[in-house]
Amino acid sequence: MEAIYKLNASEVNTNLMDTIKKLFSGKEITITISTEPDETTYLTMNPSNEKHLMESMAEEPTVRFTPEEFKEMVDKM
């Protein structure tokens, strides 16, 4: 039997441990704790993905304006 629990570290409590004990009563278990990378880290783990993302970002048009121009744009919205 295998069970995977995905939760925040703050959610680990004695109730969780009791549940695990009941599910696997009398059996030897292995507990592995890991974190998952955020989306950006995951996408850039592969060098070709990272290169593609960086090239795409470099091709994006940029817009520059002063704080006054920004305020004017916001006011029009």
Is the distance from CB of 57 to CB of 40 less than 8 angstroms? no
Domain residue ranges of the chain, discontinuous segments joined by +: 1-59
d(CA 35, CA 22) in angstroms, rounded, equals 25
Q: What is the mean pLDDT of residues 16-25?
A: 93
Averaged confidence pLDDT in the chain: 90
**C-alpha dist (Å) from residue 66 to 15, 19, 69, 70:** 55, 58, 5, 6
Residue 18's pLDDT band (cuts 50, 70, 90): very high
Give the global pTM: 0.44
